[in-house]
Amino acid sequence: MHGQGEAHAAQVIFGWDPLWFAGILFVITYALIMSEKINRAIVATSAAAIMVLAGVITEQKAVHGVDFNTIGLLTGMMIIVAITRRSGVFQYLAVWAAKKVDARPWGILVMLVVVTALLSALLDNVTTVLLIAPVTLLITEALGVKAYPYLFAEILASNIGGSATLIGDPPNIMIGSAVGLSFNDFIVHLAPAAVIVMLATMVPIYLIWGRHLKASDESRQRVMNYKERDAISDPVLLVKSLSVLALVILGFALAHFIGKQPSTIALSGAALLLLLDNLGRKSSKQTEQVHATFCEVEWVTIFFFIGLFVVVHGLESTGLLTMLAEEILNLTGGDMSVTAMAILWGSAIASAVVDNIPFVATTIPLIKSMAPTFGGAEALMPLWWSLALGACLGGNGSLVGASANLIVAGFAERARQPIGFMAFTLAAFPLMLFSILISSVYIYLRYL
Amino acid sequence: MTARLVMDPNPSVMHAGETVGKAVKIIMEHRYRNLPVVDENGHYLGVFGINTLLRLVLPPAVVVEKGLTTAPFVTDTLADLRHRLASVEEVSILDFINDDATVVYPDTPLVETLLVLYRTRTSVPVVEGEARRLVGMISYWDVGAHILEQEV
């Protein structure tokens, strides 16, 4: 996000007060996104168009409000994953992990959780669960056990793993980009918390489901018979895509030293992989292949972000968010500990019930405007980590808390193993609160 | 020239409530590609076909929407496939019918009807009225027979 909450003399149509106009438009936008009656990309881009057409912000400011670092990073990683997945490496990884524990049901659950958490830390959560859920269904069917505990644990693992890195979850990408935090900053500050939360979460999962998971020797043998090497459908592509992925991760780690933004690294990696994937093909085939790859990019998400950035920037330019920040500081008494806990718990609860992307997009400028109270931008770090943990882990609170949750639920329903909204919430919400309790202790001991 | 000309007006049908086991028996005996399923009033509900059978014997993970697109590492045997089919033999066909299959109407023009047949690559139900009463089925063989008769 760019710019601070400087109010400017906007000329809004019919002479309406820009602050009220933007505020009401924002509330309507939020309500429509929550209602899911209209596609969220349509809502966000329409609201952005109204912001500009009504005169709340100029076209130049609207473009300035779009965080192209976030957009580039998301798009670049989506392209890299779209190409890499064709190699079959993710199925290989899941089957390999299942066989490593001799196809024991609880062992497989743990391994799939580890794979999901690790992949979610390096790729986006939705992609990760789209890759892991089908293999999970295959393995659990072969074992003769219900897929539910596995899918449930994977949902939690995807959100917890995603909280560990800059690129793991959209809220982190947005926070990292807005504040200028590096890949390494997230690893150093959030990965330890994610590991602790993941380990702690496995205990209740074991007590509720894990200890009851049983499979016959015959069923386990069916899984052991899987030939994971055969999952690699294109060994050459595997080498190319894993090499590029490794270079991109290395680039993220060194981004601070080489002075490049994560989006530059992700898009450079995507361009390189597109080149390697198409070298030697006829030009007509290249067009077909590149088109197929670009179709894999989640353009709904990308345009949702673009629209949202404009809407939030419009709101920010009216000074409304600065006023809201002042109100929050009045409530917390300007105390860093109280403010950090309020942001952590508030963002967790909010993210459990509403989309965390618009929530984080709005909260970022709000936190930025607290800098003078706490003695500058550097002093705000505990608040950024609180927001990241709250927004990412809060997604575990209900099925609608994160896109990955809904993807798994939809998949489970189609596979005739439905994950009920209430059943999920009853188990997941307390576990989410448990994870936020752990995060509170972590934030308090480390930063406050 | 419409669909009515090339349809079989007395096709074999399955009724709501009949089992997967019975559908399998009929499909295998008569080598049907698609069996229309109707309710007690003869209203069309969907089709149960050879593709449905394949879906029932394959691992759910590979046939579910957004499932695995390939599964070369899976080493299931014929016994595994048989076991999968046996587990649903007593289940009602309604749980597995395709209620979204393309249909044509008795007055659908002939070329449009053949285009549907060409694109769907399977037998096509013919329904009429808002209640979608099943009035026939069109297969490759019905069409072929009619064309050859005309030629002759």
Cβ atoms of A418 and A383 within 8 Å: the answer is no
For the cut 90, the answer to whether the pLDDT of residue A13 exceeds it is no
Residue B105, φ and ψ in degrees, nearest 5: -115, 160
For the cut 50, the answer to whether the pLDDT of residue A291 exceeds it is yes
User: Which one-letter amino acid corresponds to residue A385?
Assistant: W
In this structure, the strands spanning B133-138 and B34-38 are unpaired
pLDDT in tens, A360-389: 888 899 899 889 989 888 899 999 999 999
DSSP string, A118-132: HHHHHS-HHHHHHHH
For the cut 50, the answer to whether the pLDDT of residue B124 exceeds it is yes
Segment B48-62 shows an average pLDDT of 93
Q: Which of A9-18, A33-42, A340-349, B130-139 has the lowest mean pLDDT?
A: A9-18
For the cut 70, the answer to whether the pLDDT of residue B150 exceeds it is no
Segment A16-36 shows an average pLDDT of 87
**Predicted pLDDT of residue A9:** 55
**Predicted pLDDT of residue A10:** 62
Calculate the alpha carbon distances from A62 to A47, A52, A221, A288, A435 in Å. 12, 7, 59, 34, 37
- Apex A55 CA angle, A52 and A322, nearest 5: 90
Helix axes A170-179, A262-278, angle to 10 degrees: 120
Minimum CA–CA partner of B56 in chain A: A415
Taking the C-alpha atoms of A79, A82, A88 and A93 in order, what is their torsion angle to the nearest 10 degrees?
A: 70
Task: Tally helices (H) and strands (E) across chain A.
Answer: 22, 0
**Predicted pLDDT of residue A126:** 81
- Please give the helix or strand (H or E) that residue B44 lies within, else none: strand B44-49
Cβ atoms of A136 and A150 within 8 Å: the answer is yes
Q: Is A135 on the interface with B (CB under 8 A)?
A: yes
Cβ atoms of A343 and A447 within 8 Å: the answer is no
Q: Is B80 on the interface with A (CB under 8 A)?
A: yes
d(CA A66, CA A302): 11
State how many domains chain B has: 1
Residue A4: pLDDT band (50, 70, 90) is very low
Are A411 and B64 a contacting pair at CB < 8 A?
yes
Chain A residues in contact with B59 by the CB 8 A cut-off are 137-138, 141-142
Which residue bears the tokens 């994610």?
A194
Segment A286-308 shows an average pLDDT of 91
Cβ atoms of A72 and A264 within 8 Å: the answer is yes
**Predicted pLDDT of residue A439:** 97
The Cα of B74 is separated from the nearest Cα of chain A by a number of Å equal to 5
Q: Is B77 on the interface with A (CB under 8 A)?
A: no
Other CB atoms within a 10 A radius of the CB of residue B128 amount to: 16
**Predicted pLDDT of residue B141:** 87
Residue A5: pLDDT band (50, 70, 90) is very low
d(CA B25, CA B53): 11
Residue A407: pLDDT band (50, 70, 90) is confident
For the cut 90, the answer to whether the pLDDT of residue A36 exceeds it is no
Cβ atoms of A59 and A52 within 8 Å: the answer is yes
Residue A264: pLDDT band (50, 70, 90) is very high
**Predicted pLDDT of residue B132:** 93
Range of the domain at B147: 3-151
**Predicted pLDDT of residue A381:** 95
The DSSP symbol for B137 reads: E
Cβ atoms of A398 and A350 within 8 Å: the answer is no
**Predicted pLDDT of residue A3:** 41
Which SS3 state, helix, strand or coil, does residue A396 take? helix
Looking at every residue in chain A, the average pLDDT score rounds to: 90
Helix axes A105-122, A183-208, angle to 10 degrees: 160
User: Which one-letter amino acid corresponds to residue B116?
Assistant: V
d(CA A404, CA A130): 8
Residue A404 half-sphere exposure toward CB, CA atoms < 13 A: 37
- Please give the helix or strand (H or E) that residue B48 lies within, else none: strand B44-49
Which percentage of chain A shows pLDDT scores above 70? 98
For the cut 70, the answer to whether the pLDDT of residue A298 exceeds it is yes
Chain B residues in contact with A134 by the CB 8 A cut-off are 61-62, 64, 66-68
Q: Is A231 on the interface with B (CB under 8 A)?
A: yes
Q: Which of A80-94, A316-330, B76-90 has the lowest mean pLDDT?
A: A316-330
d(CA A437, CA A371): 26
For the cut 80, the answer to whether the pLDDT of residue A328 exceeds it is yes
Which percentage of chain A shows pLDDT scores above 90? 60
Chain A residues in contact with B62 by the CB 8 A cut-off are 134, 138
Which residue bears the tokens 């979850």?
A169
Q: What is the ipTM of this complex?
A: 0.81
Among candidates B18, A7, B96, A182, which has minimal Cα distance to A173?
A: A182
Cβ atoms of A55 and A12 within 8 Å: the answer is yes
Which residue bears the tokens 């500050």?
A189
Segment A123-139 shows an average pLDDT of 88
Segment A416-440 shows an average pLDDT of 92
**What is the distance of C-alpha A71 from the center of its chain?**
13
Cβ atoms of A85 and A129 within 8 Å: the answer is no
Minimum CA–CA partner of A230 in chain B: B73
Looking at every residue in chain B, the average pLDDT score rounds to: 91
Cβ atoms of A48 and A310 within 8 Å: the answer is yes
For the cut 50, the answer to whether the pLDDT of residue A6 exceeds it is no
Q: Is A229 on the interface with B (CB under 8 A)?
A: yes
Residue A242 half-sphere exposure toward CB, CA atoms < 13 A: 13
Using the Cα atoms of residue A147, residue A148, residue A152 and residue A153 in order, give the sign of their dihedral.
negative
pLDDT in tens, B2-47: 999 999 999 999 999 899 999 999 999 988 889 999 999 999 999 9
Residue B151: pLDDT band (50, 70, 90) is low
Cβ atoms of A317 and A35 within 8 Å: the answer is no
Which SS3 state, helix, strand or coil, does residue B94 take? helix
For the cut 50, the answer to whether the pLDDT of residue A283 exceeds it is yes
Residue B147: pLDDT band (50, 70, 90) is confident
Residue B134, φ and ψ in degrees, nearest 5: -75, 125
For the cut 60, the answer to whether the pLDDT of residue A130 exceeds it is yes
Are B66 and A229 a contacting pair at CB < 8 A?
no
CATH code of the domain covering residue B144 = 3.10.580.10
